[in-house]
Amino acid sequence: MSTLIFIGLAASLLIYAAARLSRPLGALLLMLLSGAGVAALILSWGKGFTETLPLGNGLELTFSLSTFNWPFLLLGAFVLFIVSLFAVNALKEMEHGASFLALLTLIGVSVMGVFGAYDFLTLFIFFELMTWTSFFLVSMGKTGAKKAALIYAFMSMIAAYLMISAIMMIAQYTGSFSYSDFMGMYEAMPSGIRTTVVIFFLAAALIKGGIYPVHFWLRSAHGDAPHVFSPVLSGLLVKYGYYSAFLFLLFFPVMVATKAGITQVTSTDGPNFILAFIGGLSIMAGTVAAILQSDAKKLVAFSSVSHGGYVILALAYGTNMAVAGGLAHIWVHVLTALGMFLSMGAVAYRTGTTDMDEMGGLIKNMPVTFTVYLIAIISVAGIPPLAGFVSKWMIIQALAANGSYILAFMAFFGSIGSFMYVFRPLATIFLGQRPHKFKDVREVPFFMQLAMLIVTLLTILLGIMPYYLLKPFTRIQEFIGMVPVKIGFSTVYSALTQLDMMLIFLVFGGGFLLALVIFLLFSKPTKVEQHEVYTSGEIAPEISTTPEIYHFSKGYYRSFGRLFSRWPSVEAWYHKGAAYISQFFEIIEQSLFKQSINGFIWLAVVVMAVLMAVRWF
């Protein structure tokens, strides 16, 4: 894998050069590379290896490919493959497109490093590589992107420093950075260090994963990043956080209990419950905030917060069903995030905006994009028969089976709430009144459609055949010594009941066909100009109405917003804190560095007096 990493580094230069010649060529090269990655991973199913890259002086980087990280590596390669396919057309008019592709290749390198790492040092190095490359990538977005990227980098650095502190504590205790040494010695570590390490690492993971209450960077970073990069952020980079959380959750009490074969969670598992509760809060906060967004991409960003909540909730809950559901939900969220962000990117590619209040009626112009979005949101909302239903079903089954009704309520809240927020772009972008300026909007070019359709197809197929969705994760469960969830080709068995997705698909498919038949049998509808709907075809000249004022998508959920307007906002506190820090820094500069010469001498005399006084007395 170290060879691959060096190839990746070299490839980023090559791709930069190629993209300078022609953007599509660069994107195609990246697509081929990541496609080769996908293929190689699928071919190496079931195989594994470990290799070390010595740096001298006792330092070495260790990489491995195993059942444990296989799905994550595949995920990284897949996201890059889809995004670079999308980028073949999408990057054409983008400023700095060549640098964009080169940096995206470096993201690919960081994927290999983070997911392929077998020691903490490697993990950290590639986390940091991701931080600075994605910082530049986010900065390339629209107006607010620069500020967004800085906040993003700031939060990432906090996470990185928490992580490195934890890693160094581990290294000091175990004498190495290796995962296996840590796993072996974890039980023997003093509980103080153990707690600190776990808290630091999980805090870092939550920041990277964009979980409430450290989620606020997601809004601007995902929302303002370039349209091509938002899917990577949401589909791939927050997964680094989930992955590192999962690494650490392996050591949590419940996981240890579950590994021993117990499936019943008891109320004494404090730490797990707190983390699961944080996940639940994240679901709710993300959902509510997403409902209130008027920018389509920010809406999707908050939906990522909510979905991250599901993953953390499920992984922290820790029964074998919950873990399988949570891991599967990571993959499901990759597909939905790609679907939603790519379709929003496609819309923005043609219309130049992501503000939902401005748009409407694009279903006629962009039917493929509409379909992609529709399938994605059905999966997001957890409506059968798509992949999203499977993972949510598993998570809620696990919660309900053990009687954790508060958490189950939170998970349900997210599901119901997601109906509300995913419907908003559907109604305001694709349905409803089409403003005149978007009359000539065309469907996006071929490669963009292709990228989106692959995602859609996978969402449907994995929904019908959950075996392919779940098998890698049950293998992880076997790998870490947990009782795997029982699955069939299209069925999942829980403690309470069983789920046959094929059956559900057939029922839904039958219903769809029935509706189609009814639609075709009855008479064709008459086509009218869209605004005629509102005035029954008559526009009274004295009212001087224009079609735009009937545009009902403005302030879509305004009344709902009033409902939540009194809720405490974590983001406001952060803003206040930042203002205080800024003032404080100003005071420091004024008092220590902006003196007259006499002032500096005074300073020196005072410092000298203090230093001597401290010695003497």
Partner 1 sequence: MGHEWLSLWSFLYGPLSIFLVGLYGLLTQKNLIKMAISINIMDYGVNLFIISLGYVPSAEAPIYTDAVKTYLPVFADPLPQALVLTAIVISVAVTAFILALTIKIHSQYGTTDLTKLGEMEL
Partner 2 sequence: MIMQNPVLLIAVPLLLAFLIPVFSSFFKGAVRFIPVLAGGFNVIAAALLIPQASGDVAVTEIGGWASAYGISLLFSSQIGYMILAVNLTALLAIFYYILNERDLGSPLAYPIAFTLALSGANGMIMTGDLFNLFVFMEMTAIAGYIIAVHKKGYLGTFRFVVLSSVGSAFFLIATASLYNATGFLNMAMAGKNLGALSTPFISVISVLFIMALSSEAELLPLNGWVAPVYRESSGAGSVFFASVFSGAALFAVIKVMLIVFGINYAYVHQGLLVLGLVTLAAGEAAAFKQSNLKKMVAYSSIAQSGLIIAAVAAAMRSGVLHNGLFNAALFQLINNILAKALVLLGIALLGQATLKEIGGAGTRKKWLGVFISAGVLSLIGMPGFAGFWSKLFLVRELVGNRMFVFTLVFLLAALFEAYYYLRFLQSLFLGKSTTAASLPKTSWVTYILLFVLAALIILIGFAPDVIIRAVSGLSLGGVL
Q: Which residues contribute to the site for partner 1 (CB under 8 A)? A: 594, 596-598, 601-602, 605
In the bound state with partner 2, the residue whose beta carbon lies nearer, of 21 and 59, is 59
Q: How far apart are CA 68 and CA 65, in angstroms?
A: 8
* Residue 149 interacts with partner 2 (CB under 8 A): yes or no: yes
Q: At what angle do helices 296-317 and 387-401 cross, to 10 degrees?
A: 40
* Residue 503 interacts with partner 2 (CB under 8 A): yes or no: no
Residue written as tokens 């890693």?
167
Question: 67 and 476 in contact (C-beta within 8 Å)?
Answer: yes
* Residue 168 interacts with partner 2 (CB under 8 A): yes or no: yes
* Residue 532 interacts with partner 2 (CB under 8 A): yes or no: no
CB of 133 to partner 1, least distance (A): 39
Angle made by CA atoms 52, 54, 55, in degrees to the nearest 5: 145
Q: At what angle do helices 23-43 and 70-90 cross, to 10 degrees?
A: 160
Using the Cα atoms of residue 357, residue 359, residue 361 and residue 366 in order, give the sign of their dihedral.
negative
Taking CA atoms, 271 is separated from 210, 245, 274, 410, 482, in Å, by 20, 13, 5, 18, 20
Restricted to residues 555-594, the positions that interact with partner 2 (CB under 8 A) are: 582, 584-586, 588-589, 592-593
Please give, one letter per residue, the 3-state secondary structure of 330-355.
HHHHHHHHHHHHHHHHHHHHHHCCCE
CB of 602 to partner 1, least distance (A): 6
Token readout for 466 is: 């959950």
* Residue 423 interacts with partner 2 (CB under 8 A): yes or no: no
Please count the other Cβ atoms lying within 10 Å of the Cβ belonging to residue 509.
Answer: 12
CB of 608 to partner 1, least distance (A): 11
* Residue 256 interacts with partner 2 (CB under 8 A): yes or no: no
CB of 597 to partner 1, least distance (A): 6
Q: Which does 515 bind (CB under 5 to 8 A by kind): partner 2, partner 1, none?
A: none
Restricted to residues 95-124, the positions that interact with partner 2 (CB under 8 A) are: 96, 99, 121
CB of 581 to partner 1, least distance (A): 23
Question: 212 and 285 in contact (C-beta within 8 Å)?
Answer: yes
One residue of 171, 232, 299, 311 binding partner 2 per CB under 8 A: 171
In the bound state with partner 2, the residue whose beta carbon lies nearer, of 517 and 601, is 601
Tell me what percent of the chain is helix, strand and coil, each rounded to the nearest 5.
Answer: 75, 5, 25
Q: Which does 171 bind (CB under 5 to 8 A by kind): partner 1, partner 2, none?
A: partner 2
Beta bridge partners of 358: none
Residue written as tokens 């379709």?
343
Q: Which does 522 bind (CB under 5 to 8 A by kind): partner 1, partner 2, none?
A: none
| Size of the chain, expressed as the number of residues it contains | 617
Give the interface with partner 2 as residue ranges (CB under 8 A). 55-57, 59, 96, 99, 121, 125-126, 128-129, 131-132, 135-136, 139-140, 146, 149-150, 153-154, 157-158, 161, 164-165, 168-169, 171-172, 582, 584-586, 588-589, 592-593, 595, 597, 599-601, 603-604, 606-608, 611-612, 614-616
